[in-house]
Amino acid sequence: MLPLADIRVLAIEQFGAGPWATLQLADLGAEVIKIEDPASGGDVGRYVPPFQEGEDSLFFETFNRNKKSVSLDLRHEAGRERFERLVRVSDVVFSNLRGDQPEKLRLRYDDLKHLNPRIVCCSLSGFGMTGPRASDGGYDYMMQGLAGWMALTGEPDGPPTKSGLSLVDLSGGYVAALAVLAGLWRARRDGAGCDCDLALLDVALHELMYVGTWAASREYVPPRRSNSAHPSLVPFQNFETADGWIVVAAPKEKFWVRVCEAIGRPELATDPRFADFGARDRNREELAPILEEAFRVRPSAEWLELLRAAGVPSSPVNDVPGAVGEARIVEYEHPTLGTVRQVASPLRLSDAEPPVGRAPFRGEHDDEVEDFVGA
């Protein structure tokens, strides 16, 4: 049995962050029932191009495999009554709406505990359910700007730059899934549910990690580094080769010695300018051209073979098709989209392989859900 096979989640969700959160739960066996508003055509992710036909898209498939769908308008009495019947037999009510919407739609613990005292209510919004920005919409790109990510990303003389993926949405989804599991554990232990109030901005700010600690403690303003270089460890960056790019990492002194040996410059390891972390950081502008010149003389494959043989952490800089070639792939047939191939979930427990199934059609499980909640 999958670890969350006895959990039922009601998900009022759309686009990326929320569906990503409940996808993690579905991949662990939870029954995730999407509540889709028929007035708006359901989850807007159904209509995201490219590779979209009608209410089906590869974008939607990515976030919603193994889920169920019911059509409910929570603003109407009949839809609310049906929703409340579902709450009675569920474990989690999850939403990723604006922060003011859980109160308006009565999705908070205080609104639902009379129906099910152990219900866990999780809201993932841009700015949280309280505060002056609760009613503001919040999206990944905005959070990357607000949280300083864009100021950290890109070449030194380039414009502020977002990350290539919606990492605030994805991180917010993982944090929300963790919060839900913690709430569930407490509800089963203590017999009472709770609210989980999560903000994408809080997640993005927390992920400033040590850079945030440096800034908060010493008002440090981190500079951008060329070639995606690490802010303090040298070398730890991309290097151009004769035919592409590779990543070379020396996060320990022993790796620095091995880099010097691999490029045929063992004397650099004992050069006082580069003798330890601090020296290499202070003198990175002198060291970088030496290493860049060395790495340009061979193709990537030769360097990776040499570096791996020397025990130096290194990798190619793949394009996306190349990266997918490194992945475990799952596939299934879709009635509209044909063969759908996705990167497999990393959530693997022994003897509990995540299921592989398509995303639901809108309202596909109306009758099934009606059967188990009763008329």
Compute the Cα dihedral for 303, 306, 309, 311 and give only its sign: negative
Three-state secondary structure readout of 122-173? EEEECCCCCCCCCCCCCCHHHHHHHCCHHHHCCCCCCCCCCCCCCHHHHHHH
Find the catalytic residue in 76, 114, 230, 334: 230
- Region of 241 on the Ramachandran plot (φ > 0 left; ψ -120 to 50 alpha; else beta): beta
Instruction: Give SS3 for 186.
Output: helix
Closest to 64 (Cα-Cα) out of 92, 40, 43: 43
Query: What is the C-alpha to C-alpha distance for residues 361 and 75, in angstroms, rounded to an integer?
Result: 22
CA distances from 282 to 52, 58, 153, 156, 192 (A): 51, 47, 21, 17, 55
The reply to whether 114 belongs to the active site is no
User: Are the beta carbons of 58 and 340 closer than 8 angstroms?
Assistant: yes
CA distances from 130 to 55, 97, 241 (A): 34, 13, 51
User: Are the beta carbons of 242 and 231 closer than 8 angstroms?
Assistant: no
Query: What is the C-alpha to C-alpha distance for residues 279 and 257, in angstroms, rounded to an integer?
Result: 14
Q: Residue 81 corresponds to which tokens in the numbers above?
A: 């009554």
Q: Tell me phi and psi for residue 140, to 5 degrees.
A: -50, -50
Catalytic residues: 230
